[in-house]
Amino acid sequence: MSFIKVYIHFVWSTKNREPFLATKEFRRKVWNHILENAREKGIFIDFVNGYEDHCHCLVSLGLDQSIQKVMQLIKGESSFWINKQEEFKPILKEQKFEWQDEYFAVSVSESVVDKVRNYIKKQEIHHNKKSFQEEYDDFIDKYGFQKFKN
């Protein structure tokens, strides 16, 4: 038997950073659905939260899971589910809900899992002080990601 514990902090936004996730109730339902769907697919989400235009997930990858596959399963299914919900149609205002194609994925040392979990938990408070664009730029700088233009 193999024993694996690899934590990844994922961050992704709504398409064009549309603030579709503007209400706490909408976010709560989406996060709960993401958790439930992930559980059904054998994906262990330690914590999920976000704000009006983005989502954070702390995931412990399984033996045969890749970053790309986990993101595909979480983002693809959740956007499909959101678009099927009649109660969300007034919020979407005739628009199709989509997640942005790009995302961040960074490894998390077990020694800082609690710190990352707490950061994800406090997204609403955090974004009263800092926009998602500022957070995005901070991630680019902090983790040394390169910005490439197509």
Q: What is the DSSP letter of 98?
A: -
Residue 36 resides in a domain:
yes
In 3D, which of 50, 54, 48 has the Cα closest to residue 17? 54
Q: What is the pLDDT of residues 27-66, one digit of tens each?
A: 999 999 999 999 999 999 999 999 999 999 999 999 999 9
Which pLDDT belongs to residue 147? 65
Q: How many domains does the chain have?
A: 1
Per-residue b or e along 7-22, where b marks 16 or more CB atoms closer than 10 Å to that residue's CB: bbbbbbbbeeebebbe
Which pLDDT belongs to residue 139? 81
Give me the domain span that covers residue 63.
6-142
In 3D, which of 29, 27, 28 has the Cα closest to residue 14? 27
Query: What pTM does this model have?
Result: 0.90
| 91 vs 15: CA distance, rounded Å | 15
Radius of gyration of the chain (CA): 15
Q: What is the pLDDT of residues 64-90, one digit of tens each?
A: 999 999 999 999 999 999 999 999 999
Which pLDDT belongs to residue 140? 84
Q: What is the mean pLDDT of residues 109-119?
A: 96
CATH, residue 91: 3.30.70.1290
Which pLDDT belongs to residue 134? 86
